[in-house]
Structure 1
Amino acid sequence: MTPSDISRAPAHTQLQALAARTVSSRELLDLHLDRIAGSPLNAVIALDPEAARAAAHAADQRRANGRAGGPLDGLPMTVKDSFETQGLRTTSGSPDLRDHLPQRDADAVARLRSAGAIIMGKTNLPAYCQDLHTDNALFGATRNPHHPERTAGGSSGGAAAAVAAHLTPLELGSDLAGSLRLPAHYCGVHALRPTHGIVPSRGHIPRPPGWLTSSDMLTPGPLARHPRDLRIALDVLAGPAEADAVAWRLELPAPAHERIADHRIGIWSDDAHCPVDTATRTLVEDLAQRLRDAGARIDTDDRPVDLPASDALFQRLLHATAAGSAEDDAFRRDCAQAAQLPPQDASPRAQFLRLRTQRHRDWLRANEDRARMQEGWAAYFRRHDALITPAAPTAAIGQGARSLTVDGRERGFFDQTGWLNLAGHMGLPAAVVPLGTDPDGLPLAVQIIGPRLADRTVLDLAERIGGS
């Protein structure tokens, strides 16, 4: 393989080439920087070539001296612009932060650097991660690499597009309401939302710069072109917070089984609450048959939760946690408007205001409901090793569209994440695995959800069904 060929390979292949000194870190970096410069996607919106080249040179020197660093040593990569990067502008897509130059890396970014990764730039997102399209007033829209008029998704849309277009071999994104997994589905790449709490989120915006706490639903996670790369990234990113590391260790269990034939897999291919189109349903059902043919025990009837009930709880918790970083004046206005709502007003705006301004007691009740729902999931996973669902109802919708069409019927905009939200508020590990295309040639993926802390089982299944 030529260096150019290597730079288009998955991250694990690039790391093998670096270790064998088939290619240098500086060569890999320059190939990626050239590709970024020529890309029409608007996926990478900030670069620091000088610092990246210095870091790549240092990695090459370490390797030449026989003392290579961590598991990502010399690998160039990008990170979503919601993660603070020391000395590299971090805007979270907002004009309010156009001049924000962090003095400290986000914790997840620091772990990547400690493992030897070369942070060469930042990827685009909607302002403060708050849309399912990637577009903002600072940098404009990111285009889907498979079709320029389709969305790349959001909020990690620049991240997914950059990985798909070979602008970066590995990316750090974030996921609260499908922000990592929806763009991966739309752009045809792999993504992992790890078990909540095992990857630190300090330094992630929209929590304001300087905050030490983050949302109780946000989880940083990797995107890549191969599921094996997600495993490599997880090994780097996961671990106890610095204050806990003096006493606690994280030792994720090995995959549940060594053979597909030993797996008990639930399949949930469609639901009236969030219907999917024919191509998506067929993709999931074909996978179920493939797994059945391989000897796995497939269950299409058992359900861990009721989808409408799970979605309603997700909304209660989502709007509560999102209010944490609201400006004081804006939140006071929301409270005043909520207090004036007629009891019979059930409009989306009224529901939003009530949930956003709910009392702490109401959130405590919602959190108790979450714990009970988590118990239901735990019981389900005593009967099954994993659950496979659609990633989204359709392939990528039009850029800027505010609804989607499922087999000719218009559905609400937020149905895009109806399936992804199953895992979000439960804190469960979930991977998106691209498996095919729709009739227009756009990527289609499935979602694999596993038990809490069974991230390795999820990734093992992802590689078995989607690795190549």
Structure 2
Amino acid sequence: MSQLHFASATELASKIKRREISAAELLDHFLGRVEKYNPRLNAIIWMDVEGARARAKAADEALARGEDWGPLHGLPMTIKESFNLAGSPTTWGRPELKDNIPDSNAVLVDRLLAAGANIFGKTNVPINLADWQSFNEIYGTTNNPWDLSLTPGGSSGGSAAALAAGLTGLDAGSDIGGSIRNPAHYCGVFGHKPTYGIVPGDGQALPGVFSRPDIAVVGPLARSAEDLALSLDIVAGPDHFAAAGWRLQLPPPRRKALKDFKVAVMLSDPAAEVEQSYQDCLQGVADALARAGATVSDTARPDIDTARAFELFILLLRAATSRRATEEQQDYFRQVAADTKIDGDSYLSRMARGVLLQHRDWLGLDNERAIMRHAWSEFFQDWDILLCPAAVSAAWPHDQAGERHDRTITVNGQQQYGVDQMFWAGYPNMVYLPSTVAPAGQSPEGLPLGLQAVAAEGEDKTAIEFCRLTASEIFGFQAPPGYE
């Protein structure tokens, strides 16, 4: 069983059904690895071992009777801490919610369970899911398996770290500002941010919140693109409000071979300059695509002002999350908005304006977004994929000092605000597009680097298939050293 832990979920589920390994044996294999490696990573922060063993036993007994629970029959997996799972804590890293134990499941969780999954644990997050690190007062800090001194990303950092280290078979996260894609990039795994609205987020919310937040999505993280496709097929579909009249039918991938893809390549942008070695890595992918026969352009872009797109994203993002702001925080943001000494183009200023947006002003921004959606739609009439970075660099050292918007990272020898790299998350996400992050190579320091493949709205399978092909023909999942 030496490499079981790095196999794809698709392969593991198949092994269970073919009875090459029992669900109980596979669960014990992962639990043994959690015991050995999780203390250094702190990726998985809650487990129900007794319940998981009971479900594994039931899965094996069902197979013996000829029953098939679904495509994930008996597969051990984890989920992000922010999903409701009956009997488990859902805190979002907030100390005041440490005793919040929901009695029902998130819709995504129910769909995974209905497909046969065995959810044995939950993975770490930053407070309010609002950082590209994963630390909080309840569970502590999650480390990157490639280098424990580095962040695994966030907010699904525990998910990506657990997958990379071979502690789980599959995972599910959420994404509003890169929270699936960023950790996938930093840890060298696969993550898919679905088209907005195709996977219900019900039950992935703070207590008492039932409305669907703008921009936010939930989706899979995995060690293969095949697993992303499998998981998306399971969890995507209308919520209970729409189920009576609507059915989701995602189109198949546009292309079946790399040589047939039309790919626009965007290596950097003034809104968020990208580390040169990361640009070189993505250029290497672009060159490999061209050698494979794909149509590749380094100039094709949607007709959108990227600086304005970034500003619009921050305003809409902070409007979408403004309900979490306390009265004290709102008073602070009013002071920020009124302070003429603060740069109006700074992240702090934009955050303040977003939190305080009046609805009429939000409608104006939403209309501006609609214009950008049309521009993207026109772009995808000619191009299948926009290939771009997922962040501005490889993973960086833990930094928990002060406020997130004040922290800096080093890019091309210069200090850059860490929040600037949210441009690469928001550029496709603000306009509801699907995007997949997949391994693309490694930095000179040996850290994973990911590509981000953006596809047209509703064409999730095109982005995932593109990444399946790049993993097969250019660069795929590689395990971090020391986790054999």
* Bucket of the pairwise TM-score, normalised by the shorter protein: over 0.9
Q: For 1:405 and 1:312, locate their aligned partners in 2 and report how far apart those are by CA, in whole Å.
A: 22
Is residue 47 of structure 2 the alignment partner of residue 47 of structure 1?
Answer: yes
Aligned residue for 1:376, secondary structure, equals: helix
Amino acid at match of 1:446: L
Aligned residue for 1:357? 356
The TM-score, its normalising length taken from structure 2, stands at: 0.92
Secondary structure at the aligned position of 1:151 is classed as: coil
Alignment correspondent of 1:323: 322
| C-alpha distance 307-72 of structure 1, shift in aligned 2 (>3 A) | same
Per the alignment, residue 172 of structure 1 pairs with 172
Instruction: Name the amino acid aligned to 2:282.
Output: V
Alpha-carbon distance in 2 for matches of 1:127, 1:332: 18
Shift of residue 354, structure 1, vs aligned partner: 2.2
Alignment pair present for 1:421 and 2:444: no
Which is further off, 185-194 or 294-303?
294-303
* Corresponding residue of 2:9: 11
**TM-score, length basis structure 1:** 0.96
Deviations 1:258-292 (A, max 9, x none): 22222211111122221111211111111111111
Q: Could you say which residue in structure 1 is the equivalent of 2:159?
A: 159
Structure 1 residue 440: Cα displacement: 0.7
d(CA) in 1 for partners of 2:427 and 2:347? Answer: 21
Equivalent in the alignment of 2:397: 398
The aligned amino acid for 1:128 is N
Match of 2:438 among 410, 433, 439: 433
Distance apart, 1:326 and its partner CA: 2.7
Residue correspondence of structure 1 range 228-377 to structure 2 within 5 A: 228-304=226-302, 305-327=304-326, 329-330=327-328, 332-334=330-332, 336-337=334-335, 340-342=338-340, 346=344, 348-377=347-376
Q: Deviations over 1:104-126 (max 9, x none)?
A: 11111111111111110100010
Letter of the aligned partner of 1:389 in structure 2?
A: C
Distance across 2 between alignment mates of 1:137 and 1:237: 31
Contact 1:252–1:456 (Cα < 8 Å) also in 2: yes
| Aligned pairs for 1:170-249 within 5 A | 170-205=170-205, 208-249=206-247
- C-alpha deviation, 1:334, in angstroms: 4.3
Contact 1:11 1:170 in 2 (8 A): yes
Distance 2:411 2:114 in 1: 45
Instruction: Sort the Cα spacing of 1:103 and 1:73 in 2 relative to 1 into closer, same or farther, 3 A.
Output: same
Aligned residues: percent identity?
Answer: 39
Instruction: Rate the CA distance shift 1:422–1:351 in 2: closer, same or farther, 3 A.
Output: closer
The separation in 2 between residues aligned to 1:364 and 1:159, in whole angstroms, is 35
Judge conservation of contact 1:6–1:17 (CA < 8 Å) in 2: no
Gaps of 5+ in 2: 401-406, 477-484
Whether the 8 Å contact between 1:203 and 1:210 is mirrored in structure 2 is no
CA distance in structure 1 between the partners assigned to 2:26 and 2:233 by the alignment: 23
How many residue pairs get matched?
463
Name the amino acid aligned to 2:418.
F
Q: CA deviation at 1:336?
A: 4.8
The letter of the residue matching 1:219 is V
- The one-letter amino acid of 2:283's match is E
1:348 CA drift (Å): 4.5
SS in 2 for 1:148: coil
State the one-letter code of the partner of 1:29. L
Deviates more, 1:30-39 or 1:78-87: 30-39
CA positional deviation for 1:352: 2.5
Specify the alignment match of 1:133 in structure 2. Answer: 133
Q: How many Å separate the matches in 1 of 2:341 and 2:449?
A: 42
Q: 130-139 or 4-13, which moves further after superposition? A: 4-13
Gaps of 5+ in 1: none
Cα distance in structure 2, aligned partners of 1:263 and 1:31: 40
Aligned 8 A contact 1:341 1:350 in 2: no
1:144 is paired with a residue of what secondary structure? coil
Structure 1 residue 331 displacement after superposition: 5.5
